[in-house]
Structure 1
């Protein structure tokens, strides 16, 4: 064996077990009773306060390179991921230039990433009104799915689709067995909502009401029921959205949903005015919505939790001005999402196994990465030693994102990563060991 990890506590099949994990050629080749694995060149043994978990998988990350690398790039994003125990991430098709709308743009994105990733990186494609004919080629080129917006994305090169255009795209995507991701906010509802301006956080929330999300989610459900296209709602934020997804799943609609750490740990009642580091779309809502999201995770309505890491520069965030209408929306949270969710889950009595399922196994399954996000024979040896009871407070100096703007600054989180391996290689802060991964149809 190349590596054996002796773990008195390891999360295997959703429960703690005492095992020795044997690794060869980057894969797990054995899960033996503790202490019975064959000899190995490298051996690691967990202490009493540590637990072995699979590397985390984050399927919602905006890296923005090339084109807007000053917002975030592959070097810094994957360094932040590795620090958090995230060993695989999938990059969103916007805000890079060009956006990932065809095979040529995907090749440009991969060229920018090659040789610069500390963790494994894959790519989503995009779906806009002008590239519906390019979708089969995008899937053939290896994207894990395609994403569309039903309202303005915020960047002109990635325009929204109408409901009719989304249905047309769904038919094409269903034919190739693909996955459609949808940013679900209804443009008509947003158009008639108050215009966001000034420092008042509640006024910003009122500008992106729950009705905008529920109207769009309902349109997605109806289209998915007709086309039978696998459809995934990104960053679900509202109680109404949870109720719709729950009903649709019960009716057999091929739909899944995610939420994000910031919706689970922050609430509108406690967010101070003039704080653009909390601004995202859809917005962080009130405590009742937050409770509905936790309930949706508990009963399986919501499938996964991912970061939606979408940072920008300090100039765009307007921190000194604090105008929530003018500031760029997006949360910088890739490095701290897991520890934030685990801290809140622990407070609520939710076991670590559930959090790992939501933030490792579940995202891997969504993307079709059956060899990621699990401790089992045949899986990639993406391993994390976690001191699950140790807490830490987020300081500016520990932030690895390119722009150190995050709502987690100063917050106490739970779970310290003490070691991590990517395909059997132990990661250090300066090791660039990541590969560019592609979806393989079938």
Structure 2
């Protein structure tokens, strides 16, 4: 529905207002929610364009704050046109673009302006941007904050691309001093190199070989570093794509001690398990790795108990050749999974079976992610004055995904079927 200066509306018997589903009409003007009217006492003027969606659920659009768009520089991997089109098709009405794997990366004010120019006129959904912290760019951080970046990301281990090097302890202390008092947030790819590594004779086609090369202790030691920094400087810190449940106790202790620390996990860590990944199936490779089924259930428990704050896609696409699917060599394949379009149905398929409610979906996929990147006064709620970012979908229906359904630029996907069907009205 086109939203301009005139009043328009969406009617449903199931509008999610807070934690309640109820009949209502959501009226909109100028891209903002104008009113939410109870259906039992609703009078919409004859001049209002009304979209009646029956008993489909109407709720706030998903805010996916971990998306690698890769433009400029690696647009053959993905780009704003295809990424945001995929987002819109999946009920994601806002994305936040990571500072890598574009060339140049978003690590200077000039590079940020170049990114903005590339995105102009190509986005189907609202798009915000993370900056990056790399060695030596600390003087760029405050100018980038003033220019509008949502925060910054750094790596404690090799990022996979040479133009975005990982930081040292001295880099981190310098960055923290720059960020103190700004209210900004520093995101951490929380893995540190440790020993031992798997034997060189291990079969590279076996997923277990790759899994052994990225053990839980890598996340544990990295998160120990993050929690110490967070407590010392009292700068907001955020752990991206937590795959291991083992550091959760460390995270809880740091929060109890006053660390302003948040943490996310991803749809693939909640939906998949290492035991089910076939030999040579390199499209399942991501970093940190997908771990075992027991670990997956511990992540779900942490979500239920509030110890993990949000769920994101970590959409990290590449061209098919970089996945080395012909050789099936996990050690050489690019690590990244494309799931931006399918995060909502993937999450609901698993969450609904574990007793989660639709209000939990909004909290974990919209509200908390909007809060992380400073958009929570505009997005993540159905409330007057908030952005009119709506997703309209049917959580009871099932559908199978074919290649023709995928809007990502490259169609390599781990998704074969999910348990719902939906349409979007951002």
When normalised by structure 2's length, the TM-score is 0.95
Aligned to 2:423: 418
Contact 1:297/1:303 (<8 A) preserved: yes
**What aligned pairs does 1:71-86 form with structure 2 within 5 A after superposition?**
71-86=77-92
Alignment equivalent of 1:46, drawn from 53, 63, 69: 53
**What aligned pairs does 1:251-330 form with structure 2 within 5 A after superposition?**
251-330=257-336
Deviates more, 1:312-321 or 1:159-168: 159-168
Residues 1:25 and 2:30 are matched in the alignment: yes
Deviations 1:198-244 (A, max 9, x none): 11101111100000001001110011000000000000011112222
Aligned to 2:238: 232
Residues 1:394 and 2:362 are matched in the alignment: no
Contact 1:10/1:18 (<8 A) preserved: yes
CA shift for structure 1 position 197: 6.1
In the TM superposition, structure 1's runs of 4+ consecutive aligned residues that sit over 4 Å from their partners are none
Gaps of 5+ in 1: 422-442
Rounded Cα–Cα distance in structure 2 between residues aligned with 1:171 and 1:413: 45
Deviations 1:315-338 (A, max 9, x none): 111111110000000001101111
CA shift for structure 1 position 170: 1.6
Residues 1:213 and 2:219 are matched in the alignment: yes
Q: Name the Cα RMSD after superposition.
A: 1.4
Residues 1:6 and 2:15 are matched in the alignment: no
CA shift for structure 1 position 162: 1.4
CA shift for structure 1 position 393: 1.3
Rounded Cα–Cα distance in structure 2 between residues aligned with 1:119 and 1:265: 26
Contact 2:95/2:125 (<8 A) preserved: yes
CA shift for structure 1 position 37: 4.4
Deviations 1:238-264 (A, max 9, x none): 111222222222222110000000000
Residues 1:152 and 2:188 are matched in the alignment: no
Contact 1:242/1:292 (<8 A) preserved: no
CA shift for structure 1 position 115: 0.3
CA shift for structure 1 position 416: 1.8
Aligned to 2:338: 332
Residues 1:108 and 2:114 are matched in the alignment: yes
Rounded Cα–Cα distance in structure 2 between residues aligned with 1:129 and 1:360: 32
Aligned to 1:432: none
CA shift for structure 1 position 367: 0.9
Residues 1:181 and 2:187 are matched in the alignment: yes
Contact 2:77/2:317 (<8 A) preserved: yes
Deviations 1:334-357 (A, max 9, x none): 011111111011122221221221
**Count of aligned pairs:** 416
SS at match of 2:50: strand
Gaps of 5+ in 2: 1-5
Rounded Cα–Cα distance in structure 1 between residues aligned with 2:166 and 2:96: 21
CA spacing shift, 1:419–1:336, aligned 2, 3 Å:
closer
When normalised by structure 1's length, the TM-score is 0.92
Rounded Cα–Cα distance in structure 1 between residues aligned with 2:223 and 2:128: 26
Contact 1:20/1:37 (<8 A) preserved: no
Rounded Cα–Cα distance in structure 2 between residues aligned with 1:419 and 1:193: 46
Rounded Cα–Cα distance in structure 2 between residues aligned with 1:197 and 1:372: 47
Deviations 1:343-396 (A, max 9, x none): 011122221221221111111111111211110111000111111111111211
CA shift for structure 1 position 414: 2.3
Alignment equivalent of 2:385, drawn from 363, 375, 378: 378
